[in-house]
Amino acid sequence: MQPLPCYEVALEDKANVINCLFQKESIVALIGMGGIGKTTLSKKMYHLFHNQYDKSSFLEDVKSKDIKNVKKQLLHYLCDKALCKDEDLNKKDLDQIKDCMISKKVLVVLDGVGEMENFGTLLQLLIDKDAIDVNCKSKILVNRRNWQILKYHVKESAKMDMALLEEEQARELFMFHAFKHENHVTNDIKNISMKIIKACEGFLLSFEVLGSYLCGISIWKYGKMHCTH
């Protein structure tokens, strides 16, 4: 199968929208339900633009991690300082992170932030509100399923709602994952694929998981599906 021109172009377009929002705002929020593609888009944006910054850090699935380890990761990537596993951050370390955000051009992606306590702690660490509003070189992209917590920290104009994949993008993504090693796919298999695509209702994660699972399974090597009851 060919690469994903339609899907990749759409993904890059969305990443560019985020970058445009960064021209006016210091914090941008990416909102959408689970499996819709927030992390994938965040990674794409980071990949495309992190080289334009002095320092950068992508913090994946923040809600599932110990907040102390998240802070250590920030210290390591933004300030080039690594702490031992059992070593705690001190006030000087935390001040270093904040000073870096103010004095340098920094990109931080907070992927999958959880409840208010952890998010608020990270935000206080990353942002000196008065300084960053004046400086405005450092940027934060945060993604979350729910807007409620973020709306108190992110302007409505800096909110981007994730949309479900359009049919052509969905078809292309599923076919790529399911048949990446196949040069020819029969019409019967294409028809079965379309039924699966419609059932997934535009959720990116469904196409990636199902397509990857089905890739190489013997059922796809035949022109029709054989069912047993």
pLDDT tens digits for the chain (229 residues)? 455 677 788 889 999 999 999 998 889 999 988 888 899 999 999 999 999 999 999 999 998 888 888 999 999 999 999 887 778 889 999 999 989 998 899 999 999 887 766 777 888 888 765 555 545 689 999 999 889 888 888 889 999 998 877 777 777 777 777 776 555 666 777 777 777 777 776 677 666 777 766 676 655 555 444 433 3
Q: Are residues 62 and 137 in the same domain?
A: yes
Q: Are residues 174 and 155 in the same domain?
A: no
Paired residues of 57 in beta bridges: 108
Name the residue range of residue 204's domain.
Answer: 167-221
Q: Are residues 137 and 61 in the same domain?
A: yes
d(CA 159, CA 147): 9
Q: Are residues 23 and 61 in the same domain?
A: yes
For residue 79, the domain's CATH number is 3.40.50.300
Cβ neighbours of 195 (radius 10 Å): 10
CA distances from 160 to 14, 40, 154, 204, 205 (A): 9, 14, 11, 17, 19
- CB 139 within 8 Å of CB 107: yes
State the total domains in the chain: 2
Q: Are residues 129 and 194 in the same domain?
A: no
What the block records as the tokens of 67 is: 């907040």
Q: Are residues 151 and 173 in the same domain?
A: no
Give the H or E element holding residue 43: helix 38-49
Q: Are residues 54 and 149 in the same domain?
A: yes
Report pTM: 0.80
Q: Are residues 212 and 134 in the same domain?
A: no
DSSP 92-153: HHHHHHHHHHHHS-EEEEE-S--SHHHHHHHHHHH--HHHHHHH---EEEEEES-STTGGGT
Q: Are residues 149 and 175 in the same domain?
A: no
193 found inside a domain? yes
- CB 207 within 8 Å of CB 177: yes
111 found inside a domain? yes
Q: Are residues 34 and 87 in the same domain?
A: yes
217 found inside a domain? yes
Pick the last residue of a domain from 131, 161, 191: 161
166-169 own/partner pairs: CB under 8 Å, 24+ apart: 166/10, 166/202, 167/197, 167/202, 168/6, 169/6, 169/7, 169/10
- CB 50 within 8 Å of CB 141: no
Under DSSP, the state recorded for 52 is: G
